[in-house]
Amino acid sequence: MNLNHAQYPGIDPQEVQTRGELSRYLDQSLSGEYVTTLNDDEFTQTSTFVKSYLVEAHSTDRAAFTTRLNQVFIQILPRLDPSLYLLYDKYNNPYFADIASPRFMALHSIEKTSDTDYTLDKLTAGDVPKFDRTWMPTQFLRGIRRGKMMGFKFGFERFVQGLRDPDSDLHLASGLPDGGRRARFRMAVSEDVTAERDYRAIQNSELFSGRKALEHIQFTAIDQKGEYISNRVYTDGKIVGKGTSIGSHLATVEAVLTSYTRLLEKIEDHTLGWVNKGNSVVHTGEPFIITFPGDLEITNLMELTRSIVRPVKPFRLLGIPHELSEERVDVEAIDLHTGDPFALEITKEWLRVYLPAGACGNVVARLYSNLQRSMHSDIQLATGDGEILFVEDGE
């Protein structure tokens, strides 16, 4: 059976020129009006999820932005609204890129998740410069929920090395091929009204110690008329919506985007550099400190560093580790998403990040949230003055 997307009688994406029309186009998916063809004369009405992906895109230079998009999308069509683009991937799936934010792009689609995930991976894997995912740590994800929490998923994968597993004598060090015996842990609660209680109970218990990093969170928000949205928000910026209110879905997208933008701005407020003061200069900023919890035993610091500073997913860093001693390794690194330089100083208790002024703060969020998911979920990120950047509510 060859399943093609049809334009009739659903809304033709080519006709969408404004945000109002985009809203109606996305809404047809929620309301089950979206139509697919099975054969030339056979239609079926389906209800799919609305997918929105938040992508750091740096779209201020429109020409450069669309050139970069062209590496993944075969068509890039401006809309009447200058902050909207209609894009088609290589499977001819339509997407709408909302670039009202100069920094982030919200990419909306109602097509098959397998296709849209694949396309987003291509766009943000690092081959196309300047595009990056969001990297929302556990505490941040918890902070963006509203309405009622209905689900969550812990996802932990030990893709860093040089550590001793706290629960066994197994050395997670050299000799383990990638993807071989990497410790993995997944635990999900879905569509459950007790999700909030379950989450808190697990967080406050000794269970799954160090592996309680969220991969996604699910909540349901209902307005006064009973219209609702059930949103699942993933750590990498994917937001899946189902329900009856497209407005609520778009409100979630906007709220997450705004919070994440503020977070990056806050990170970038602490970058290191020289500021002109009259005829003089003053050095400002401070390094970020990532502190490792006491029950995390680092057995080989150089091995740990090499497994973090790698040009592949998820860290996407290039660097030259320099072992000063068994207790200290330094790295001159490059963020492969932007080409920005930064430096790391790593000990067995903490890691300092020196981010120069002008560099993109997303690298700090990427580093921290991936360490949380691969090293220990209780590691902390703080500014030099001791402000912990991510604190879970209720703590």
Partner 1 sequence: MKVGELEVVNAFFGFCTLMGNTWPAPLVPLGYRVVGIETEITSILDQNDRTVVPDIVCASAKKHHALCVDAKSSTVDKNQERAYEALEPRMLISQGVVPPDIDPSRLSNDSLLVTAREYSQKLCFSLDKIGVCLPVVAADEMCFSLSYGQIHQSELHQVFTKGIPLRGQQWPRHFVPFNSRSSIAEMVATVIRALFQLLHRGGAFSIEDIASRAVPHWDLCGRAEQRGFRDQIAQIL
Residues that bind partner 1 (CB under 8 A): 129, 272-274, 277-287, 289, 291, 318-320, 322, 324-325, 327-328, 330, 332-334, 339-341, 343, 345, 347, 350, 352, 354, 356, 382-386
Least CB distance from residue 104 to partner 1, whole Å? 22
Minimum CB distance to partner 1 smaller for 13 or for 319: 319
Minimum CB distance to partner 1 smaller for 170 or for 357: 357
For residue 203, how many other CB atoms are within 10 A of its CB? 17
d(CA 212, CA 106) in angstroms, rounded, equals 28
Locate 361 and state its tokens.
């703060």
Least CB distance from residue 67 to partner 1, whole Å? 12
Minimum CB distance to partner 1 smaller for 82 or for 274: 274
CA distances from 109 to 38, 63, 89, 238, 333 (A): 20, 23, 11, 11, 35
Least CB distance from residue 289 to partner 1, whole Å? 4
d(CA 213, CA 216) in angstroms, rounded, equals 9
Backbone angles phi, psi at 256, to 5 degrees: -65, -45
Least CB distance from residue 62 to partner 1, whole Å? 19
Minimum CB distance to partner 1 smaller for 126 or for 147: 126
Least CB distance from residue 384 to partner 1, whole Å? 4
d(CA 354, CA 306) in angstroms, rounded, equals 18
Minimum CB distance to partner 1 smaller for 86 or for 123: 123
Locate 61 and state its tokens.
């230079």
CA atoms within 13 A on the CB side of 348: 14
